[in-house]
Amino acid sequence: MITPVVMPQMGLEVTEGTVVTVAVVSGQSVSAGEVLVEIETDKALTEVTAPRDGTVAAVAVSQGDVVSLGAVLVTLSDGETVAAPQATGADHGSLQRSAQTDEVPAAAARAPAAHGRNGYGRLRIAPVARRAATRLGVSLETVTGTGPSGRITLADVERASVGEPGAAPAAEPGAAPAAEPTPPNGFVELVPLSGTRRAIARRMTASQVIPQFSLEREIDAAWLLASKDALSAPAPGAVRPSLNDMLVQAVGELVLRHPALATSYVTEGAPEPCIGRRDGADIGLAVAADRGLAVPVIRRVHERTLTEVAAERVRLVGEARSGRLRADDMQGAAVTISNLGAFGIDRFVAMLNPGEAAILAVGRVLERVRREGRGFALVPTLALTLTIDHRVIDGARGAEAMGELCSLLEGAMTWRT
């Protein structure tokens, strides 16, 4: 029996990805669930696994290839050898070979590109090769690309890292040095969007279409901070819970008490607009990474202790900052928390993540002068702003949820430690 393994659906907006790793070779025996290929999209890194036990009959992709949704990656068999599959639009989607880079394709009106560079003089380089160059400390200006049109491949970077000269690219017949194009509108440079930045731009543009409103409160944070300081020391090797972990657990409790926060306005896949409901409390956490904003999701927060939340937060933040978050790690949150307190921000309004009912913006802890009895005292305060999708939650219901969150954080929360 022959089984083609194709690039799976990795989100509604994802139509193609770059092959980062090919983990198998023809003739290799694999078990169900074993990783065959790693695909990087503009959102995440996803492992494509074997759907059953079998033998790798053919591998249709190579490292650095750009593949479209449904393209054949690997073919499994019960032992027989078959020819490498040809990916076609009619069968399993198109397979775009190594010519694509991590830069935006040149526009038709752009000047002809020089060998090894795009129309604005920027290097053509595969995303995996760029990351390898950073890791290995290789200057890309010293690397000779051997891919199509002088594209720098992973192999080129690895050769340069050990001092091996790269193969000189063949001269293109009749090619003449192209003049550097002048960026329009007085700009000194036009920098193409990375895949991650394009994804952020799409989602934030979609967020602006959502009718949303924001509710702001400033809480007395004395009890919250005292609770954090009073937490018992974690077991050896465990992560000590942070203020963010306590906010995650409190918001998870809030979602259980206000199930409307675990809803979403749904149009895709439904005969008419409706409200979708989620089970439990999955909480997103906005993370600033080198590639751009990422929002990993901590699952089943209502079932986790603070120590478990902290451990999962550390894992997900690490994956986000290393660019290895998987698509499943960033989907299905009920509410997202965005905390800019560490950047010295007093308060702000966060934009809704499309598909979620609410997002909580958290500022830094500030000391305020408050009246106490007949005198005054300095009190630590924390500004919270809850932004809500008005299509699923009305103002009064949102205000009730905000009031309960403040009550939880000022003393009513029972921490699960």
Residue-wise over 160-171: b if at least 16 C-beta within 10 A, else e? beeeeebeebee
**Which of 96, 128, 146 is the last residue before a domain boundary?**
96
When the pLDDT of each residue in the chain is averaged and rounded to a whole number, the result is 81
Q: Calculate the CA 25 to chain-centre distance.
A: 29
Do 336 and 375 reside in the same domain of the chain?
A: yes
**Predicted local distance difference test score (pLDDT) of residue 112:** 45
Joined together, the tokens standing for residue 217 give: 């409160």
Helix axes 243-257, 395-407, angle to 10 degrees: 130
**163's torsion region: left (phi>0), alpha (psi -120 to 50) or beta?**
left
Do 14 and 75 reside in the same domain of the chain?
A: yes
Do 124 and 163 reside in the same domain of the chain?
A: yes
**Which of 64, 96, 128 is the last residue before a domain boundary?**
96
Report the percentage of the chain scoring pLDDT > 70. Answer: 80
Amino acid at 144: T
Do 224 and 330 reside in the same domain of the chain?
A: yes
Do 52 and 145 reside in the same domain of the chain?
A: no
**Predicted local distance difference test score (pLDDT) of residue 375:** 85
In this structure, how many other beta carbons lie within 10 angstroms of the beta carbon of residue 199? 22
Do 69 and 110 reside in the same domain of the chain?
A: no
Q: Which of 66, 60, 18 is nearest to 38 (CA)?
A: 18
Joined together, the tokens standing for residue 147 give: 């891919």
Do 237 and 368 reside in the same domain of the chain?
A: yes
Do 8 and 153 reside in the same domain of the chain?
A: no
Note down the domain range covering 58. 3-96
**Which of 141, 169, 197 is the last residue before a domain boundary?**
169
Which CATH number covers residue 376? Answer: 3.30.559.10
First to last CA, the chain: 52
Structure confidence by residue, pLDDT tens digits, 137-147: 888 888 888 87
Backbone phi and psi for residue 280, each to the nearest 5 degrees, phi listed first: 75, -160
Amino acid at 170: A
Q: Between the CA atoms of 102, 105, 110 and 111, what dihedral angle is there, to the nearest 10 degrees?
A: 60
Q: What is the Cα–Cα distance from 380 to 367, expressed in whole angstroms?
A: 4
Do 107 and 65 reside in the same domain of the chain?
A: no
Q: Which residue has the tokens 């090894």?
A: 116
Structure confidence by residue, pLDDT tens digits, 89-133: 333 333 433 333 343 333 333 344 454 554 445 566 766 677 778
Do 16 and 125 reside in the same domain of the chain?
A: no
Q: SS3 of 146, please?
A: coil
Which CATH number covers residue 133? Answer: 4.10.320.10
Structure confidence by residue, pLDDT tens digits, 245-283: 999 999 999 999 999 999 999 887 778 889 999 988 999
Q: Which of 219, 211, 213 is nearest to 404 (CA)?
A: 219
In this structure, how many other beta carbons lie within 10 angstroms of the beta carbon of residue 98? 18
Residue 199 lies in a domain: no
Q: What is the Cα–Cα distance from 417 to 413, expressed in whole angstroms?
A: 12
Q: Which of 413, 407, 415, 412 is nearest to 219 (CA)?
A: 407
Q: What is the Cα–Cα distance from 94 to 404, expressed in whole angstroms?
A: 52
Q: What is the Cα–Cα distance from 129 to 155, expressed in whole angstroms?
A: 8
In total, how many domains does the chain have? 3
Residue 55 lies in a domain: yes
**Predicted local distance difference test score (pLDDT) of residue 146:** 80
pLDDT band at 199 (very low <50, low <70, confident <90, very high): confident
